[in-house]
């Protein structure tokens, strides 16, 4: 077959003939001379050795492809964010301009009212001056007429009257002259405004901030796994509501990317999928299953996979709308009985089984089932329902399986083949598990009423008591800031939401 150049030496362009164990490098005849002192094997001699099954390698490549698709999606989201930023900048400039114009409109109205009030006072004062001056004009006109046509009696009377009035005229004129003021109104602006105007439009600047967006959780950005603290946000006692026939038993939990919580109710007369908000209040109408649902995982922004829920061996694919409408889109018939389910890649899931000699298997969204035939070192035992659960740390290729009766958490590196069984007094009857912040694992320790925090190498990071008996289901929000936990304890079933914070050093 055409290997698309993968069987050609990248250095010399010749056919690959050897493998150098000392440098873990494929070599052609030219490279072979340079590695003559190394442990060098011909490809024809070592090709018969056992290698990973291509179907398993394909799963690893599919995960890398999913990671690449995720980066592409992030780039697309960044472009959308840039467009939104520009729209926001234009909006902010317009809002600031409107605020400034509104400020000037209000100032204009206030100042003009004040100016008109001053004008009224000044006009009245000037009118008073005019009235006093007009009195003199009236006397002066009488005097002029008297000089031409007045009788001696009239002249005498005018003279005596003038003597009495003249002192008043002089006093009034002197007073008005002393009070005569020229009024001129001007504006004054605050220094801050004039400073801005002097600087011009260059003083309004564009700020550009670049942030690392590979991980949204601050805890996940740490290169080393860190302990966490949990703060209880909401706790609800699970009671019959709406059309429930029994008190709910939430056997599976997961978060949608937008923060809504999805839960499946396993009780015999309920058998439904529900959506909850950040206050753990139900949203929309629950979806009713034909059979018992066991576990749920969100595989995209609006798609869920639920084990059970159909008649027999079935995985149900559900669609969730923004208005909380849940719709069945497809039922996948399976050859095994599946219990817990988690994402391995956007198109592939890992499932734990019951009544099956293979404790974990894989299934794609297209319904293709496959097995971990290579590097799987879990105990090959047949579990009953609820005796085991799985999760998968995608970035570390680590498959996790809990064994309730053995009080053990098994961790298997599916690429390097390393595995370990984690047991200690903090892990008692482990049930549900999920990927925690910073590529860690969170496990419900049912008998201890707590959550155990582990690294993928089995190191204990912490234990966190929860206010419920026998926790059995757990999930972490996509941004790594919240944990949802439910339990299976007769008479006291709860659902709780916790805030995750990094522990202080």
| CA 230 to chain centroid | 19
The span from the CA of 308 to the CA of 290, in Å, is 9
Could you read off the pLDDT of 105-143 as tens digits, one per residue?
Answer: 888 888 888 888 888 888 887 777 777 666 666 776 777
Q: Which of 100-114, 198-212, 233-247, 483-497 has the lowest mean pLDDT?
A: 198-212
Query: Cα-atom radius of gyration of the chain, to the nearest Å?
Result: 43
The span from the CA of 365 to the CA of 316, in Å, is 10
pLDDT at 78 over 50: yes
pLDDT value at position 219? Answer: 44
pLDDT at 22 over 70: yes
Does residue 307 contact residue 339 with C-beta atoms inside 8 Å? Answer: yes
pLDDT at 220 over 50: no
What percent of the chain lies above the pLDDT cut of 70? 83
Could you read off the pLDDT of 242-292 as tens digits, one per residue?
Answer: 778 888 999 999 999 889 999 999 888 888 999 999 999 999 999 999 888
Cβ-proximal residues to 409 (8 Å cutoff; 6+ apart), any chain: 400, 401, 402, 403, 421, 422, 423, 427, 430, 433, 441, 443, 452, 454, 458
pLDDT value at position 215? Answer: 42
Cα–Cα distances (Å) from 134 to 48, 139, 163, 180, 278, in that order, read 129, 9, 18, 16, 84
- Residue in this structure with the two tokens 């209000």, named with its chain if needed: 106
pLDDT value at position 212? Answer: 53
The most confident of 166-175, 201-210, 386-395, by mean pLDDT: 386-395
For the chain, give every domain's residue range. 18-49, 92-203, 228-502
Task: Please tell me the total number of residues recorded for the chain in this structure.
Answer: 505
DSSP 341-365: EEEEETTEEEEEESSSS-SEEEEET
pLDDT value at position 312? Answer: 67
Tokens of 184: 């001129």
pLDDT band at 230 (very low <50, low <70, confident <90, very high): very high
pLDDT band at 166 (very low <50, low <70, confident <90, very high): low
Tokens of 119: 């004008």
| CA 19 to chain centroid | 47
Tokens of 215: 């991980």
Could you read off the pLDDT of 359-383 as tens digits, one per residue?
Answer: 999 998 888 888 876 556 667 789 9
Helix or strand (DSSP H, E) at 432? strand 430-436
The span from the CA of 498 to the CA of 254, in Å, is 14
309 or 50, which is more confident:
309
Tokens of 470: 């026998």
pLDDT at 58 over 70: no
Does residue 443 contact residue 430 with C-beta atoms inside 8 Å? Answer: yes
The fold adopted by the segment(s) 228-502 is Neuraminidase (2.120.10)
pLDDT value at position 104? Answer: 84
pLDDT value at position 133? Answer: 66
pLDDT at 388 over 80: yes
Q: Which of 120-124, 385-389, 429-433, 476-480 has the lowest mean pLDDT?
A: 120-124
Could you read off the pLDDT of 323-359 as tens digits, one per residue?
Answer: 999 999 999 999 999 999 999 887 889 999 999 888 9
pLDDT at 233 over 60: yes
**SS3 state of residue 245:** coil
DSSP 92: H
Q: Which residues pair with 487 in a beta bridge?
A: 471
Query: What would the mean pLDDT of 54-68 be, rounded to a whole number?
Result: 66
Backbone angles phi, psi at 490, to 5 degrees: -55, 125
The span from the CA of 91 to the CA of 98, in Å, is 10
Helix or strand (DSSP H, E) at 462? strand 460-465
- Residue in this structure with the two tokens 């009118």, named with its chain if needed: 127
pLDDT at 50 over 60: no
59 or 429, which is more confident:
429
pLDDT value at position 10? Answer: 85
Does residue 299 contact residue 268 with C-beta atoms inside 8 Å? Answer: no
Provide the H-helix boundaries in 330-420: none
Does residue 261 contact residue 252 with C-beta atoms inside 8 Å? Answer: no
**SS3 state of residue 8:** strand
User: What does pLDDT average to over the chain?
Assistant: 83
- Which of 169, 51, 36, 187 lies closest to 107, judged by CA? 187
Burial class (CB in 10 A: 0-12, 13-18, 19+), 428: middle
- Which of 458, 379, 399, 389 lies closest to 56, judged by CA? 399
What percent of the chain lies above the pLDDT cut of 90? 36
pLDDT value at position 295? Answer: 94
């Amino acid at each position: 077959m055409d290997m698309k150049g993968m069987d050609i030496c990248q250095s010399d362009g010749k056919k690959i003939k050897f493998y150098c164990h000392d440098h873990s490098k494929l070599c052609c005849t030219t490279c072979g001379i340079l590695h003559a002192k190394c442990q060098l094997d011909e490809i024809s001699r070592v090709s018969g050795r056992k290698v990973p099954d291509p179907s398993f390698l394909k799963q690893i490549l599919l995960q890398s492809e999913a990671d690449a698709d995720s980066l592409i999606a992030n780039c697309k989201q960044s472009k959308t964010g840039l467009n939104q930023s520009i729209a926001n900048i234009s909006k902010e400039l317009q809002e600031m301009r409107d605020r400034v114009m509104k400020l000037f409109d209000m100032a204009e109205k206030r100042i003009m009212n004040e100016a008109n009030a001053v004008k009224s006072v000044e006009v009245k004062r000037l009118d008073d001056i005019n009235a006093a001056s007009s009195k003199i004009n009236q006397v002066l006109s009488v005097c002029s007429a008297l000089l031409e046509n007045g009788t001696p009696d009239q002249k005498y009377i005018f003279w005596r009257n003038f003597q009495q009035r003249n002192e008043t005229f002089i006093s009034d004129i002197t007073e008005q002259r002393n009070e005569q003021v020229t009024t001129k109104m001007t504006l004054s602006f605050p220094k801050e405004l004039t400073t801005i105007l002097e600087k011009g439009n260059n003083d309004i600047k564009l700020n550009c901030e670049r942030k690392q967006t590979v991980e949204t959780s601050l805890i996940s950005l740490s290169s080393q796994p860190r302990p966490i603290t949990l703060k209880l946000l909401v706790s609800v006692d699970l009671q019959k509501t709406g059309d429930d026939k029994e008190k709910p038993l939430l056997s599976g939990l997961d978060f949608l990317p937008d923060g809504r919580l999805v839960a499946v109710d396993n009780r015999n007369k309920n058998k439904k999928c529900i959506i909850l908000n950040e206050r753990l209040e139900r949203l929309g109408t629950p979806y009713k299953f034909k059979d018992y649902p066991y576990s749920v995982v969100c595989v995209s922004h609006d798609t869920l996979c639920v084990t059970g829920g159909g008649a027999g061996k079935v995985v149900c694919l559900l669609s969730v709308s923004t208005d909380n409408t849940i719709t069945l889109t497809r039922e996948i018939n399976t050859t095994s009985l599946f219990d817990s389910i988690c994402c391995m890649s956007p198109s592939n899931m890992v499932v734990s089984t019951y009544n099956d000699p293979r404790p974990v298997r894989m299934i794609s969204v297209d319904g293709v089932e496959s097995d971990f035939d290579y590097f799987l070192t879990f105990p090959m035992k047949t579990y009953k329902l609820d005796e085991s659960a799985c999760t998968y740390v995608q970035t570390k290729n680590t498959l996790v399986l809990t064994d309730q009766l053995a009080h053990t958490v098994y961790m298997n590196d599916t690429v390097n083949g390393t595995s370990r069984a984690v047991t200690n007094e903090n892990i008692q009857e482990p049930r549900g598990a999920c990927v925690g912040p910073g590529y860690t694992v969170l496990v419900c320790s049912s008998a201890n009423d707590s959550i155990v925090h582990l690294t993928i190498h089995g190191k204990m990071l912490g234990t966190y008591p929860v206010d419920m008996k026998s926790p059995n289901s757990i999930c972490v929000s996509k941004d790594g800031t919240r944990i949802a936990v439910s339990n299976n304890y007769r008479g006291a079933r709860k659902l709780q939401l916790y805030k995750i914070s990094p522990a202080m050093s």
